[in-house]
Amino acid sequence: MQGLSVRPATPADATAIIEMLQALARFERAPGAVRLTEQTLVDDAFGETPRFHVFLAETGDGIPCGVATAILAYSSWAARPVLTLHDLFVRPQARRTGAGRAILAAVTAFANARDCCRIDVNVLSWNGDAERFYRSQGFQPLEEWRPFRLDLEGPTPPENPSNRDPG
């Protein structure tokens, strides 16, 4: 895409970020799932100790066309940080223009600058386009690993998961 740029987002980008994350949720068949507000975004991404990092892709005209969110974690085995690419969304009209690759390059540079040993990403089983994209960028599926989740805000949160019978 002519004049495409990717940069760390700022609080002034909050409206565009929320809109794109809502569009991603609709695409991922979870409309209404985004609870992030502009205020929580500003507090949690741009506060004194950011909980996550946001990258924004813009057209040459300065129009936001893509977003990524990333979270730093730690690998006790590698004894180095790990970056989890939590969201990557490119507006439909900007797809197949290099915007996704540009965002991923910025995220990778961010991870390298923090001495991360790897970048992890989850892909929905039905999203073949995302799987092909990540494979084309060198990501490999972890065939023996399956994501598990304990939803602490579900309709009936567990009282104490450690007390449950494993069988």
96-133: pLDDT as tens digits: 999 999 999 999 999 999 999 999 999 999 999 999 99
* Residue listed under structure tokens 């939590």: 86
Active site residue 134: yes
From residue 92, how far is each of 27, 75, 88, 120 by CA, in Å? 10, 35, 13, 24
Q: Which CATH number fits domain 5-141: 3.40.190.10, 3.40.630.30, 3.30.230.10, 3.20.20.150?
A: 3.40.630.30
Give me 75's structure tokens.
């690998």
What are the DSSP E strand ranges found in 2-156? Answer: 5-8, 53-58, 64-75, 80-90, 118-121
pTM: 0.89
Say how far apart CA 74 and CA 67 lie, in whole Å.
Answer: 23
Catalytic hit among 59, 134, 143, 166: 134
Q: Please state the domain extents for the chain.
A: 5-141
Q: What is the pLDDT of residues 13-65, one digit of tens each?
A: 999 999 999 999 999 999 999 999 999 999 999 999 999 999 999 999 999 99
